[in-house]
Structure 1
Amino acid sequence: MKFNTFFTISLVLCCISHSFSQNASATLAKSYDTYENIEFKMDKVKEPVIPDHVVSIVDFGAVNGGKVLNTKAFEDAIDAVSKKGGGKVVIPPGVWLTGPIVLKSNLELHAQTGALIVFSTDKKRYPIIKTSFEGLDTWRCISPIYGKDLENVAFTGKGVWDGSGEAWRHVKKSKMTATQWKDLVASGGVLNAKKDTWYPSEQYMAGINNADQNVRHDLKTKEEFEAIHDFLRPVLLSIQNSKRVMLDGPVFQNSPAWCLHPFMIEDLIIRNISVRNPWFSQNGDGLDVESCKNVIVENSSFDVGDDAICVKSGKDKDGRDRGVACENVIIKNNIVYHGHGGVTVGSEMSGGVKNIHVSNCTFMGTDVGLRFKSTRGRGGIVENVYISDVFMTNIPSQAISFDLFYGGKSIAEKLAEGTTSIAAKAAPVNEETPQFKNISIKNVFISDAYEALFLQGLPEMNLNTIEISNLVAKAKKGVTIVDASNLKLNNFKLDIQDETIFSIYNVKNMTLNGIEMNANSTKAMTIDGEACQNIELKTMPNFNLSKNATIHKSVAKNAVKMK
Structure 2
Amino acid sequence: MKLMNNKNICLALLLAIAGFNATAQTKPYSWTNLPKAVRPVFKKDTFNIVKYGAKADGITLNTQSINNAITACSTKGGGVVLIPDGLWMTGPIQLKSNVDLHVSRAALLQFTDDKSQYKIIEGNWEGHAAYRNESPISGTNLTNIAITGEGVIDGNGEVWRLIGKDRLTEEEWKRKVASGGVVSENGKTWYPSAAYAKAAKTPKAGYIEPGSSAASAAEYKDYYRPNMLVLTNCKKVLLKNTTFQNSPAWCLHTLMCQDLTLEGVRVRNPWNAANGDGIDVESCKNVMIDNSTFDCGDDGICVKSGRDEEGRKRGMPTENMVVKNSIVYRAHGGFVIGSEMSGGARNIFVSNCTFIGTDIGLRFKTTRGRGGVVENIYIKNIAMKDIITSAILFDMYYMGKSPTDDELVSDATLPPVTEATPQFRNFYVNNVSCNGADKALMVRGLPEMAIKNINLENLSMKTNKGIEIIEGKDINLKNIYIESKNSKPLISIVNASGVKFDNLRYGADTDLLFSVSGKKTGTIQVTNSNTSKAKNKVEFKSGADSKSLVASN
1:495 correspondence with 2:480: no
The residue aligned with 1:82 is 74
Please report how far the alpha carbon of residue 36 of structure 1 lies from its aligned counterpart in structure 2 after TM superposition: 13
- The amino acid across from 2:504 in the alignment is I
Deviates more, 1:132-141 or 1:465-474: 132-141
Paired residue secondary structure (2:249): coil
Q: Deviations over 1:175-202 (max 9, x none)?
A: 1111111111111111000111001111
Please report how far the alpha carbon of residue 44 of structure 1 lies from its aligned counterpart in structure 2 after TM superposition: 3.3
Rounded to whole Å, the distance in 1 between the matches of 2:370 and 2:434 is 31
Rounded to whole Å, the distance in 1 between the matches of 2:432 and 2:205 is 32
1:441 correspondence with 2:429: yes
- The amino acid across from 1:100 in the alignment is P
Residues 265 and 293 in structure 1, CA contact (< 8 A), matched pair in contact too: yes
The residue aligned with 2:447 is 459
Rounded to whole Å, the distance in 1 between the matches of 2:161 and 2:524 is 49
Residues 303 and 318 in structure 2, CA contact (< 8 A), matched pair in contact too: yes
Please report how far the alpha carbon of residue 138 of structure 1 lies from its aligned counterpart in structure 2 after TM superposition: 1.4
Please report how far the alpha carbon of residue 224 of structure 1 lies from its aligned counterpart in structure 2 after TM superposition: 2.8
Please report how far the alpha carbon of residue 543 of structure 1 lies from its aligned counterpart in structure 2 after TM superposition: 3.5
- The amino acid across from 1:77 in the alignment is A
Residues 40 and 355 in structure 1, CA contact (< 8 A), matched pair in contact too: no
Rounded to whole Å, the distance in 1 between the matches of 2:205 and 2:366 is 14
Distance 1:174 1:419, change over 3 A: farther
Residues 545 and 562 in structure 1, CA contact (< 8 A), matched pair in contact too: no
Please report how far the alpha carbon of residue 519 of structure 1 lies from its aligned counterpart in structure 2 after TM superposition: 6.0
Please report how far the alpha carbon of residue 403 of structure 1 lies from its aligned counterpart in structure 2 after TM superposition: 0.9
The residue aligned with 2:498 is 509
Distance 1:154 1:308, change over 3 A: same
The residue aligned with 2:8 is none
Residues 294 and 329 in structure 1, CA contact (< 8 A), matched pair in contact too: yes
Match runs of 1:61-100 below 5 Å: 61-100=53-92
| Aligned counterpart for 2:513 among listed residues 508, 524, 533 | 524
| Aligned counterpart for 1:283 among listed residues 250, 275, 285 | 275
Distance 1:391 1:538, change over 3 A: same
Q: TM-score, normalised by structure 2?
A: 0.91
Match runs of 1:174-323 below 5 Å: 174-211=166-203, 220-323=212-315
Rounded to whole Å, the distance in 2 between the matches of 1:368 and 1:377 is 23
Residues 219 and 225 in structure 1, CA contact (< 8 A), matched pair in contact too: no
Rounded to whole Å, the distance in 2 between the matches of 1:466 and 1:49 is 40
Please report how far the alpha carbon of residue 137 of structure 1 lies from its aligned counterpart in structure 2 after TM superposition: 1.3
Distance 1:199 1:219, change over 3 A: farther
Residues 208 and 214 in structure 1, CA contact (< 8 A), matched pair in contact too: no
The residue aligned with 1:172 is 164
Rounded to whole Å, the distance in 2 between the matches of 1:277 and 1:36 is 37
The residue aligned with 1:543 is 532
1:149 correspondence with 2:134: no
Residues 141 and 233 in structure 2, CA contact (< 8 A), matched pair in contact too: yes
Deviates more, 1:105-114 or 1:74-83: 74-83
Residues 501 and 519 in structure 1, CA contact (< 8 A), matched pair in contact too: no
Paired residue secondary structure (2:56): coil
| Aligned counterpart for 1:140 among listed residues 118, 132, 145 | 132
Distance 1:249 1:436, change over 3 A: same
Aligned length: 523
Distance 1:560 1:240, change over 3 A: same
Rounded to whole Å, the distance in 1 between the matches of 2:225 and 2:314 is 23
**Structure 1 segments unaligned to the other structure (5+ residues):** 1-34
The residue aligned with 1:423 is 408
Distance 1:518 1:216, change over 3 A: farther
Q: Deviations over 1:116-146 (max 9, x none)?
A: 0010111111111111220111111110001
Please report how far the alpha carbon of residue 79 of structure 1 lies from its aligned counterpart in structure 2 after TM superposition: 1.6
The residue aligned with 2:369 is 377
Please report how far the alpha carbon of residue 65 of structure 1 lies from its aligned counterpart in structure 2 after TM superposition: 2.0
Paired residue secondary structure (2:309): helix
Please report how far the alpha carbon of residue 494 of structure 1 lies from its aligned counterpart in structure 2 after TM superposition: 1.0
Please report how far the alpha carbon of residue 524 of structure 1 lies from its aligned counterpart in structure 2 after TM superposition: 2.5
Deviates more, 1:511-520 or 1:305-314: 511-520
Distance 1:349 1:78, change over 3 A: same
Please report how far the alpha carbon of residue 338 of structure 1 lies from its aligned counterpart in structure 2 after TM superposition: 1.1
Q: TM-score, normalised by structure 1?
A: 0.89
Residues 35 and 322 in structure 2, CA contact (< 8 A), matched pair in contact too: no
Q: Deviations over 1:215-237 (max 9, x none)?
A: 68798332332110000011000
Paired residue secondary structure (2:342): coil
Q: Deviations over 1:361-420 (max 9, x none)?
A: 0011000000000000000000000000100001111110111000189xxxx9xxx999
**Structure 2 segments unaligned to the other structure (5+ residues):** 1-26
Residues 91 and 112 in structure 1, CA contact (< 8 A), matched pair in contact too: yes
Paired residue secondary structure (1:458): coil
Q: Deviations over 1:265-311 (max 9, x none)?
A: 11000010100000000000000000000000010101000000000
Paired residue secondary structure (1:226): helix
Residues 522 and 550 in structure 1, CA contact (< 8 A), matched pair in contact too: no
The residue aligned with 1:391 is 383
The residue aligned with 1:50 is 42
- The amino acid across from 1:498 in the alignment is N
Rounded to whole Å, the distance in 1 between the matches of 2:544 and 2:456 is 24
Deviates more, 1:221-230 or 1:145-154: 221-230
Rounded to whole Å, the distance in 2 between the matches of 1:40 and 1:485 is 28
Rounded to whole Å, the distance in 2 between the matches of 1:92 and 1:422 is 62
Deviates more, 1:202-211 or 1:141-150: 202-211
